[in-house]
C-alpha cells in the first residue's frame, strides 16, 4: 500500500462522534457532504483494516449493478483531497491513513477500555480518584452529538463497537455517587445528545417518545453486512462475522436483547467449519426463547425438523450456491415471521 507523501494532510483529526468533520492543524475544519461523510465515517470506523472496494459498493452504493465500481473510485478520489487514503494494492482495502488516536471514535473506544476497574476506588465505599473522574469526564466531552441521528447509507450496525463502549461509559457514570456524578462537567450535555434514547439520554415526554426498533443479530462471514443493509429500514442489526468475534462479544457479557437471530452455518471458507452451530447452541443456552434461523449453502444430510430440534432453530433457510449476494428469501418477511413465532412462544 502506497503511503501518504510526508507533509500532506499533516496533523489532521477525524471527528465522527457528532456531525462528521475533518479538523486541520490550523484549527479550521472541513464538513463533507452526505455521501462523502458516509465514506469518511466508514473508513474511520474500519481503522487499519480498511474496507474493500466491493464492500463499499455493496453497502454504500447498493443500488448499483455489481459490476459498476466507478462511483466508489470517484468518491475516494474526492475524499483524498481532504484526508490521506493511500492507493491500495490490487484487491486490497482502502484505508484512512490517520493514527487511531486522531480518530475520535477509535480513541473513545480505547479510552473506555482503559478505564480503571471498579472506578479505581480502593474499596466499595472509597472515593473515585480525581484523575479517573477527569478521564471519565473527558470521554463524555468527546461527543458533539448523536452520530446515528443523521441520514446515512451506513447501517447502524457499523457503530456497534462504539455503542457498546458508550453504554459501558454510561453504566460507569450511573454507578458513581451522586456528588461525583454532579461534578462531571460534560454529563448533562452528553445526555442531551441522546435525548430520549432509553437508558442513555434525558427522558422525553410520553407523547414524543418513539417505540425503539427491534434488534436483529446476523452471524455471517460473507453477506452479513448486505443483509443488514436490506433490513436497516426496519430493524437495527448487529453483524458478527466470525466465531472468534462471537466469542469476543460473549466475553463482554452483552444483554443479547435481540428480537431474532439469523445465523450462517459456515463462518469461514472451509466447508468443514460449522461455527454457526456453536453460535446457535450458545444462543439456545443463553436465550432459549430467542427465535433463530439457520442459513447455509451446504445443509447436512438431516431432515429439517431434526436439524431444527438439534440446534433450537425455528427455521432452516437454504442459500443459493451460485449467487451469495442474492436475496435468500423476502428478508423482512422472514424476520417478521421469526419475531412473531418468538412472541407466540
> Where is the domain boundary, 208, 231, 259?
208
> Does 49 or 199 have the greater pLDDT score?
49
Instruction: Name the least confident of 143-152, 191-200, 316-325.
Output: 316-325
| pLDDT on residue 308 | 85
| pLDDT on residue 118 | 72
| Counted domains in the chain | 3
- Assigned domain for 132 exists: yes
The CATH number given to whatever domain includes residue 314 is 3.40.50.2300
Whole-structure pTM value: 0.61
- Assigned domain for 165 exists: yes
**Alpha carbon distance 291, 306 (integer Å):** 16
> Where is the domain boundary, 66, 100, 134?
100
Say if residues 115 and 46 touch (Cβ distance below 8 Å).
no
Residue (of 210, 134, 133, 163) closest to 17 by Cα position? 163
- Assigned domain for 1 exists: no
Query: 137 with 251, same domain?
Result: no
Query: 144 with 127, same domain?
Result: yes
| Neighbour tally for 30: CB within 10 Å | 15
Say if residues 184 and 136 touch (Cβ distance below 8 Å).
yes
Residue 167 has pLDDT above 90, yes or no: yes
Which whole-number Å values give the CA distances from 186 to 117, 145, 193, 202, 244, in the listed order? 21, 12, 11, 14, 36
The residue range of the domain holding 118 is 103-208
**Alpha carbon distance 99, 148 (integer Å):** 23
Q: What is the pLDDT of residues 54-101, one digit of tens each?
A: 888 888 876 555 555 678 888 999 999 999 999 999 889 999 999 999
Q: What is the pLDDT of residues 127-161, one digit of tens each?
A: 889 999 999 999 999 999 998 878 788 887 889 99
- Assigned domain for 66 exists: yes
- Assigned domain for 270 exists: yes
**Alpha carbon distance 241, 60 (integer Å):** 19
* 298-313 average pLDDT score: 79
**Alpha carbon distance 104, 165 (integer Å):** 13
The mean of the pLDDT values for the chain is 82
* 289-316 average pLDDT score: 83
The CATH number given to whatever domain includes residue 36 is 1.10.10.10
> Where is the domain boundary, 100, 120, 149?
100
Amino acid at each position: 500500500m502506497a503511503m501518504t507523501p510526508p507533509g500532506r494532510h499533516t496533523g489532521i483529526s477525524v471527528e465522527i462522534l457528532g456531525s462528521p468533520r475533518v479538523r486541520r492543524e490550523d484549527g479550521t475544519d472541513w464538513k463533507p457532504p452526505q455521501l462523502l461523510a458516509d465514506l469518511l465515517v466508514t473508513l474511520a470506523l474500519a481503522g487499519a483494516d480498511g474496507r474493500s472496494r466491493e464492500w463499499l459498493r455493496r453497502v454504500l452504493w447498493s443500488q448499483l449493478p455489481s459490476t459498476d465500481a466507478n462511483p466508489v473510485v470517484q468518491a475516494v478520489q474526492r475524499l483524498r483531497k481532504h484526508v490521506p487514503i493511500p492507493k491500495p494494492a490490487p484487491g486490497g482495502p482502502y484505508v484512512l491513513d490517520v493514527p487511531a488516536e486522531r480518530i475520535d471514535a477509535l480513541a473513545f473506544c480505547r479510552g473506555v477500555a482503559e478505564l480503571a476497574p471498579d472506578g479505581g476506588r480502593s474499596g466499595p465505599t472509597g472515593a473515585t480518584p480525581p484523575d479517573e473522574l477527569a478521564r471519565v469526564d473527558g470521554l463524555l466531552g468527546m461527543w458533539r452529538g448523536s452520530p446515528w441521528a443523521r441520514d446515512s447509507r451506513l447501517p447502524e450496525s457499523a457503530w456497534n463497537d462504539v455503542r457498546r463502549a458508550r453504554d459501558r461509559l454510561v453504566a460507569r457514570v450511573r454507578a458513581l455517587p451522586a456528588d461525583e456524578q454532579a461534578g462531571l462537567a460534560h454529563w448533562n450535555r452528553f445526555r442531551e445528545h441522546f435525548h430520549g434514547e432509553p437508558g442513555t439520554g434525558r427522558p422525553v415526554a410520553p407523547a414524543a417518545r418513539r417505540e425503539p426498533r427491534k434488534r436483529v443479530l446476523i452471524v455471517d462471514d460473507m453477506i452479513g453486512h448486505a443483509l443488514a443493509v436490506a433490513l436497516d429500514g426496519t430493524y437495527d442489526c448487529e453483524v458478527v462475522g466470525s466465531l472468534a468475534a462471537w466469542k469476543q462479544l460473549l466475553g463482554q457479557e452483552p444483554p443479547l436483547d435481540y428480537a431474532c437471530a439469523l445465523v450462517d452455518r459456515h463462518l469461514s471458507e472451509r466447508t468443514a467449519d460449522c461455527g454457526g452451530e456453536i453460535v446457535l447452541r450458545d444462543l439456545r443456552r443463553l436465550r432459549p426463547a430467542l427465535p433463530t434461523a439457520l442459513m447455509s449453502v451446504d445443509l447436512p444430510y438431516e431432515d429439517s425438523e431434526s436439524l431444527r430440534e438439534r440446534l433450537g432453530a425455528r427455521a432452516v433457510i437454504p442459500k443459493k450456491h451460485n449467487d451469495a449476494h442474492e436475496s435468500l428469501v423476502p428478508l423482512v418477511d422472514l424476520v417478521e415471521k421469526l419475531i412473531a413465532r418468538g412472541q407466540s412462544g
